[in-house]
Chain A
Amino acid sequence: MSNAILVVGGGFSGLTAAIEAAELGHDVYIVEKSPWLGGRVAQLNKYFPKLCPPSCGLEIQFQRIRKNPLIHCLTMAQVVGLSGSKGNYTARIRLEPRRTPSHNVDFTFMASALDGERDSEFDLGLGKRKALYKAMPFAYPARYVLDTETLSKADMARLAGNAQLDFNEKAREIDVQVGSIVIATGWKPYDVTRLSNLGAGSVKNCISNMQLERLASPFGPTQGKIVRPTDGTTPHRVAFVQCAGSRDQNHLNYCSYICCMATLKHCLYFAEQHPDTQITVFYIDLRAPGRYVKVLEKVQALPNVHFIKGKVANVVQAKGDTCEIQAEDAIRGEKLTLTYDMVVLATGMQPTLATEKLPLPVPLDADGFIAGGEEAGIFAAGCCVMPLDVTRSAQSGTAAALKAVQTVKGR
């Protein structure tokens, strides 16, 4: 029997579960697919409930991890196999090569000298990254990644013989013994290319809400300036398209819970940066759960934010890289055809497991959310169970940690 706990996913709920379990004296392995912890929260500019930057809440979590020797962070890692049973699992974990030292080396200067580039995954395609990169200044672990595929020939010559970089590092697999597992694989923004009537991702200056977060983030592709991706100009007319893929049986057959709040938050971003920008929010119902209604009231009081009841069902490119949208104002019974400098699709949350398979014995519901598995000592936390905000993700992480702790023996 092992009293260690495996946490799959290093986002906010996974980190919370890992820290809570470790602080109760359990060995914890965090397996994170990407090179850094923090998940979706790290990509945000600000997050609810207090609209603080992600560095704020995540920094506390990172401190707790740093100080706790029981937590083992495995980044660029994925669970590839599982054997054994409740209380006595052996998980096989595959680690992709990072090719940089295991301690913190600052490659900022070296990275800036490289010229090979590719679209940044972290910036959701809005910016470029080099072959040697780190997603954000406060990234944890604060280690760079060397992606040899992005290196140009000149880059190769420049980096050859560097003692800090290991070009020959290979992927490897390790086994860990754990008694219980917490799954916190989280969510991903719904794939806009599937929204054929909303431009399918091909309409310029029609971006997703997560992309807007990157534009607004001081560490994003525009250093926090909210501008049109095509020409860097300030958008004077902006439309938000709610339920872009959510509450739709052809896409996500459920309400993603947080997109209305995300849009209201984005209205506040605009009010702060471009108070003159005219904003129209097209919605089916505005959902501001619980005390979030205060935010709704605050945004409704803004002079340049307008709300129209009616779902946008058509987005096409118009002159000057503007976006033409169509919606029916369902209260006035009028079909509107309007042009905006920028359109933001409030895309929903799709559970990561809806499209990616995990070699763990957990049942999924029709939408890809985890529905069960607790009898096997496997507990789910965060948005892989249902769409949640950060607060409730953290709560579900603590809940899962407590269940996992009770599953494994001893202290």
Chain B
Amino acid sequence: MAQCTLKPDIDFTRKLAEAGGDSLKKCYQCATCAVACPMAPANAPYPRKEMVWASWGLADKLKSDVDIWLCHNCGNCSDLCPRGANPADVMAAARNTVYQDLTEPKKVGELMSKPSGLPILFGIPALLWLIVWWIRAGYNNGNWFPTRADGSIVFGDIFYGDYTIDPIFMLTFFGALFIIGKGAYKLWQSFKPEGKLTMIGEKGCWLCHLWNVLVEEVIFATHFDDCHAGPKTGKATPGRRVGHTVLVWAFAMLAFVTAVVALGHWGGKVIPAIEITTPLNPLNLIKVIANVGALMLVVGLAMLTLRRLTENKETHKSSYYDWYLLGIIWAVALTGIFSQIFRLAEAAGPAFLVYYLHLVFVWMLFAYLPWSKLGHLVYRTVALLYVRMYGRKG
């Protein structure tokens, strides 16, 4: 008989507990959860097997498990769990440990894992933008809150795009993209089973699969509706599809606006016809899209936050990762909206201060993305792509 030696890792189990899975030891392997989950496949369904891995601290199995990403955290399993082991929370905790450990530098992952890391994480961009502010104030004769002759405020007078915002954010954005890309590659490699995998039948082109994943997951979030197809739990499950979709669309609109403005600004230096100068007129179509996007961001955030606040805390706990992500997006949205309001109100002091905070939070959102829950945007897509390429529906 083949022998298999398990090496339980109690430290990993503790880590999972800290990352939001503190109920995992209550599991007694009844296998209700695998049935409760309408997305779990017939063969090797989840999350029961993950629960036993978590209990044994089998870090390698859990971190290279594609199924933790296929879970969309509807909580059916936790609702039906007879022991309050809350498999949904444990799956979320497993994802959190991946955010923490997958990519270098791991120090960032560690700081991102608990509130005590927040001062440093906030301090870095706060200092960065303060230096920028201080240098640029020197160009304005030491005036930290400059206003134009007509009383209007132009943020570019302090946070000048060409030399400050654009290079810093481009570096940040592409740096984060590089890191998360490396993480995605590492994750993909870890999904592959040991030895050779023979696939019988059509594999399908990866681009088609990616397109389908993006349409279903990111654009329409249909999987959240699939979550409701499970057994009747007798408990109300608040829908998440609308809130999530509104948020994603809001981000897409804001990204589009940013791209157009960047193109107009830098492209305008080559082709003057497409030049765009900020601040834009409030009635400009691009500005309208930006403002509608900002409002949608707030609406989506409010829906998702409200759901987390009203959830039954016994069966659905929100971890620090959940609150960090919601918190940072709230901070970005509110500072963005208020900096515009103060700018239009020509209140120079609050306007520059809030805009400065806005830059700090936006930088945090992008720079720490690979270690934050927002990483699921890439990691879940990678996992879905992987399973679909190997013929599984996910």
State whether the Cβ of A66 lies closer than 8 Å to any Cβ in chain B: no
The reply to whether A330 and B82 form a contact with Cβ atoms under 8 Å apart is no
B binding-site residues for A, Cβ under 8 Å: 28-36, 40-45, 48-49, 80, 82-84, 230-234
B residues less than 8 Å from A197 (CB atoms): 36, 80, 231-234
New contact pairs (13) apart from A250-B82, A284-B29, CB-CB < 8 Å? A196-B234, A197-B231, A200-B234, A249-B84, A250-B80, A310-B31, A311-B35, A311-B82, A314-B230, A314-B231, A329-B31, A330-B48, A335-B43
The reply to whether A337 and B42 form a contact with Cβ atoms under 8 Å apart is yes
The reply to whether B80 and A313 form a contact with Cβ atoms under 8 Å apart is yes
Nearest Cβ in chain B — how far from A250, in angstroms?
A: 7
State whether the Cβ of A326 lies closer than 8 Å to any Cβ in chain B: yes
Chain B residue at minimal CB-CB distance from A249: B84
Given the complex of chains A and B, what is the CA–CA distance between A44 and B379 in angstroms? 57
Given the complex of chains A and B, what is the CA–CA distance between A337 and B36 in angstroms? 13
The reply to whether B233 and A196 form a contact with Cβ atoms under 8 Å apart is yes
Give me the 4 closest cross-chain CB pairs, A-B, nearest first: A196-B234, A248-B82, A313-B35, A314-B231
Given the complex of chains A and B, what is the CA–CA distance between A312 and B42 in angstroms? 14
The reply to whether A196 and B232 form a contact with Cβ atoms under 8 Å apart is yes
CB-defined interface of A226-264 with B at 8 Å, one 1/0 digit per residue? Answer: 000000000000000001000111110000000000000
Chain A 331-356 residues near chain B, CB threshold 8 A = 333-337
A residues less than 8 Å from B35 (CB atoms): 311-314, 326-328, 335
Given the complex of chains A and B, what is the CA–CA distance between A333 and B34 in angstroms? 9
Nearest Cβ in chain A — how far from B313, in angstroms?
A: 14
The contact size tier of chain A is: 20 to 34
B residues less than 8 Å from A330 (CB atoms): 29-31, 48
Pick from B31, B83, B231, B232: contact of A328, CB below 8 A: B31
A residues less than 8 Å from B80 (CB atoms): 197, 250, 313
A residues less than 8 Å from B43 (CB atoms): 333-335
The reply to whether B32 and A311 form a contact with Cβ atoms under 8 Å apart is yes
Asked whether A335 and B45 contact (CB < 8 A) given A311-B30, A313-B32, A328-B31, the answer is yes
The reply to whether B82 and A247 form a contact with Cβ atoms under 8 Å apart is yes
The reply to whether A328 and B82 form a contact with Cβ atoms under 8 Å apart is no
Pick from A243, A326, A335, A336: contact of B30, CB below 8 A: A243
Nearest Cβ in chain A — how far from B233, in angstroms?
A: 6
Pick from B40, B84, B234: contact of A335, CB below 8 A: B40
Pick from A243, A250, A328: contact of B45, CB below 8 A: A328
Given the complex of chains A and B, what is the CA–CA distance between A335 and B43 in angstroms? 6
Chain A residue at minimal CB-CB distance from B34: A328
Chain A 170-187 residues near chain B, CB threshold 8 A = none
Given the complex of chains A and B, what is the CA–CA distance between A250 and B231 in angstroms? 15
Given the complex of chains A and B, what is the CA–CA distance between A399 and B30 in angstroms? 36
* 25 cross-chain CB contacts under 8 A: A197-B36, A243-B82, A247-B28, A247-B83, A248-B83, A251-B82, A284-B30, A284-B31, A311-B30, A311-B32, A312-B35, A314-B230, A314-B231, A327-B31, A328-B31, A328-B34, A328-B35, A330-B29, A333-B49, A334-B42, A334-B44, A334-B45, A335-B34, A335-B41, A335-B42
Given the complex of chains A and B, what is the CA–CA distance between A313 and B80 in angstroms? 8
The reply to whether A333 and B42 form a contact with Cβ atoms under 8 Å apart is no
A residues less than 8 Å from B45 (CB atoms): 328, 333-335
B residues less than 8 Å from A334 (CB atoms): 42-45
Nearest Cβ in chain B — how far from A282, in angstroms?
A: 9
Chain B residue at minimal CB-CB distance from A250: B82
Asked whether A313 and B28 contact (CB < 8 A) given A197-B231, A337-B42, the answer is no
Among B40, B41, B44, the one with the most A-chain Cβ atoms within 10 Å of its Cβ is B44
The reply to whether A249 and B48 form a contact with Cβ atoms under 8 Å apart is no
Chain A residue at minimal CB-CB distance from B234: A196
B residues less than 8 Å from A196 (CB atoms): 231-234
The reply to whether B231 and A313 form a contact with Cβ atoms under 8 Å apart is yes
Given the complex of chains A and B, what is the CA–CA distance between A411 and B204 in angstroms? 90
Given the complex of chains A and B, what is the CA–CA distance between A248 and B315 in angstroms? 13
The reply to whether B82 and A249 form a contact with Cβ atoms under 8 Å apart is yes
A residues less than 8 Å from B84 (CB atoms): 249
Given the complex of chains A and B, what is the CA–CA distance between A313 and B45 in angstroms? 14
B residues less than 8 Å from A333 (CB atoms): 43-45, 49
The reply to whether A328 and B48 form a contact with Cβ atoms under 8 Å apart is yes
CB-defined interface of A298-331 with B at 8 Å, one 1/0 digit per residue? Answer: 0000000000011111100000000000111110
Given the complex of chains A and B, what is the CA–CA distance between A394 and B28 in angstroms? 33
B residues less than 8 Å from A248 (CB atoms): 82-83
A residues less than 8 Å from B44 (CB atoms): 333-334
Given the complex of chains A and B, what is the CA–CA distance between A328 and B41 in angstroms? 11
B residues less than 8 Å from A328 (CB atoms): 31, 34-35, 45, 48
Among B36, B82, B231, the one with the most A-chain Cβ atoms within 10 Å of its Cβ is B82
CB-defined interface of A277-288 with B at 8 Å, one 1/0 digit per residue? Answer: 000000010000
Given the complex of chains A and B, what is the CA–CA distance between A309 and B31 in angstroms? 9
Nearest Cβ in chain A — how far from B27, in angstroms?
A: 11
Nearest Cβ in chain B — how far from A226, in angstroms?
A: 27
Among B31, B80, B230, the one with the most A-chain Cβ atoms within 10 Å of its Cβ is B31
Nearest Cβ in chain A — how far from B44, in angstroms?
A: 5
A residues less than 8 Å from B41 (CB atoms): 335
The reply to whether B231 and A326 form a contact with Cβ atoms under 8 Å apart is yes
A residues less than 8 Å from B30 (CB atoms): 243, 247, 284, 310-311, 330
Chain A residue at minimal CB-CB distance from B82: A248
